[in-house]
Amino acid sequence: MSVKYTPVQWNPNKWVYDAVLLAIVAIYISVFLRLGAAEADVSRPIDGAVLRMRAFGTCAFFMLSAILCIGPLARLDDRFLPILYNRRHFGVLTAIVAWTHATYVYNWYFNFSQINRLEALLSSNTAFGQILGFPIEALGVFAFVILLILAATSHDFWLSFLGAPLWKRLHLLIYLAYGALVAHVALGYLQDTENPTFALLFSAAALGVVGLHVAAWQVGRMRSAKGEWVAVCAPGDIAEGRARIVQLGPKERVAIFRYDGNRFSAISNACAHQNGPLGEGRILDGCVTCPWHGFQYRMADGCAPAPFTEKVPTYDLRLEDGQLMVQRHANPPGTAVDPLAVTGMEATP
DSSP calls for 229-270 = EEE---GGGSPTT-EEEEEEETTEEEEEEEETTTEEEEEESB
Q: What is the pLDDT of residue 230?
A: 86
H-run or E-run covering 82: helix 81-85
Residue 247 dihedral angles phi and psi, to the nearest 5° = -90, 120
Query: pTM here?
Result: 0.68
Q: What is the pLDDT along the chain (349 residues), one digit of tens a residue?
A: 444 445 566 667 788 888 999 999 999 999 988 886 655 554 455 677 888 888 999 999 999 999 999 989 988 887 887 888 778 889 999 999 999 999 888 888 777 677 777 777 777 777 767 777 778 888 999 999 999 999 999 887 888 788 878 888 899 999 999 999 999 988 887 776 666 788 899 999 999 999 999 998 887 766 654 558 888 889 989 989 899 998 887 778 899 999 988 899 999 999 988 888 899 888 888 899 998 888 999 999 999 998 889 999 999 999 988 899 999 888 999 999 999 998 866 544 3
Q: Point out which residues pair with 243 in neighbouring strands.
A: 257
Query: Which residues are within 8 A (CB) of 18 and not within 5 positions of it... i.e. 6 or more apart?
Result: 86, 89, 93
Q: What is the pLDDT of residue 226?
A: 54
Q: Where are the domains of the chain?
A: 12-222, 229-341
Nearest CA among 246, 245, 254, 255 for reference residue 223: 246
For domain 229-341, give the CATH superfamily. Rieske [2Fe-2S] iron-sulphur domain (2.102.10.10)
